[in-house]
Amino acid sequence: MRALGRTGRDPAHAHAGPHDPSTAWVPTADVFARTDALVIRIELPGMAPDDIDIHYAAGVLTVSGERRTELGAEEATFYVRERLRGAFRWTMPLPQDTPASAITAEFSAGLVEITVRDAGRGEHTRIELQDRSGGPAQRRLG
């Protein structure tokens, strides 16, 4: 499976793209490879499947939605409020040749699991480096 590139934040984290004032937070996720698929697990505790949108277009997988404030919370006096709420968006580029039919998603106990079958399993060919200075290419390590 080929490595998937990232832009924006630290490569170990998903990103919301360039600063997007409509996005309050980015959910945590794990991305890993199985022998036949790329698997993405995104934590969205306290949310219902109807509050989550998953889209794939132009080689970009996007998971978005909104975690709303609980009923009655407006009248409460909070001493600590750490749970994230508001709109969120999590994006990840996939290989351009990934068909939408290769992507499935499931939701269980606050965890979204997206499976991308055969992601990036295109043909791998070694490309010979041509030395234009007249002799065979020489490679040096270190």
- pTM tops 0.85, yes or no: no
pLDDT tens readout for residues 89-100: 999 999 888 999
Distance CA 125, CA 104 (A): 29
Q: Are 77 and 5 in contact (CB under 8 A)?
A: no
The whole domain housing 50 covers 1-142
What is the tens place of the pLDDT at every residue in 58-76? 899 999 999 887 766 677 8
For residue 120, the tally of other CB atoms under 10 A from its CB is 17
What pLDDT score was predicted for residue 128? 66
> Tokens standing for 65?
């939605």
CATH number of 61's domain: 2.60.40.790
Number of domains, the chain: 1
